[in-house]
A and B are shown apart, each in its own frame.
Chain A
Amino acid sequence: MSEKNHVNESILSESILEDQKENRIDHMKYLPGMEQIKSDVMDQVVAAMNGYDYTKYTGKDVRRALAAEDRTPEDFAALLSPAALPYLEEMAQAAKIETRKHFGNSVSMFTPLYIANYCENYCIYCGFNCHNKIHRAQLCEKEIEEEMAAIAKSGLQEILILTGESRQRSTVQYIGEACRIARKYFRVIGVEVYPMNSDEYAYLHECGADYVTVFQETYNSDKYETLHLAGHKRIFPYRINAQERALMGGMRGVGFAALLGLDDFRKDAFATGMHAYLLQRKYPRAEIAFSCPRLRPIINNDRINPMDVHERQLLQVVCAYRLFMPFASITVSTRECPRVRDNLVRIAVTKISAGSKTGVGSHSEEIADEDKGDEQFLISDSRDVDEVYRDLQKLGLQPVMSDYIYV
């Protein structure tokens, strides 16, 4: 493992190394049809990240950041630095206070529904990548309805609709139809799909979607380029501006994440926070959400791991997000095991998935039996909705299915 250069060798294979040598298209140049908005947010985020030297912070900076009434980007930078690790307990205590101040004891529950896993991108760490030989599938409208009906029976009122990133297979209209169906069964609908133009986000919003999550994976464009070898996703600026286009399209909230373990996680987490911070300043109405995914094994590569992002580092990142933006929603997915998830919700996480399946469909019995599409990554928490609900209660927390009323 070459942690110094932040190359996660667990992702790499002979064939990927060969593919990385091929000539590839310019990842900074928009492709035809991609909307270009006037915004300097990307430049500001990248400049902030490039200027972030986490080795310069000391315990004194961390203590000041912890004691601050309102934390600045500089405080956030200190909290993400190695100097903050000895203060992890203090950070957790402070994060818990902020979380309870803003959210009380409530924790939102939701489940992801993969309606397709076709993908046109070649992201070398992802199970859905177009060169990975897996079963591909796409639910038709009838199947989507069956899945959603089955999920709604569990009592969940919030759903996250996911596809692989294939505009060809999973068109905007197709995703829109899924949102319309979801509106019949759920109160809160998020989408985690390929980045699109603002008018397309407006269309999905009209169909019922309110939240858009786009993981930037890494904010280091040079590294990004070596991980996303082909497909629309390769275009770095189009992806980084997705949240802003979603807000321009009228979405209520946007979600941010770096996939921890791809590159220098401190810089990536800092950039993620700054990205959210700058967009919230520019669009004060925007609801902000963070996810904190670490790399997981995928089908055909069970060696993939998050490199130097161990549990301590994960907790540090989560606490830093919370202390920097106390009002933001923080989600932890089933990439983490029940022990870690249960502890993170005690400290800073305010949204948790339950009954997760990362394969296509697989919530209703008929579709699950057909063995539709394969999983995006291997999950490490298989608890169903009832189990998660009861475990939250045991922790003295209050599971909330929806605190949202459509108007």
Chain B
Amino acid sequence: MTIRLNGKKRELEEPMTVSGLLSADGYRPELIAVEVNLAIIPKKDYGSTLLAEGDVVEIVSFMGGG
């Protein structure tokens, strides 16, 4: 399936959970927030949230800023 991750197209094998995606890309869950189709996914739900064709996923973290 194809999703959109942080503005870019991404091919994923099915089935894929949020947790799976995070560990595949090496994200540290405590440092990020995940939004799927504009809805924030609570950290406890990462393992049970399945991604689907066409999902728009944003993974964000903090950086320096004033």
The answer to whether any beta carbons of A and B sit under 8 Å apart in the complex is: no
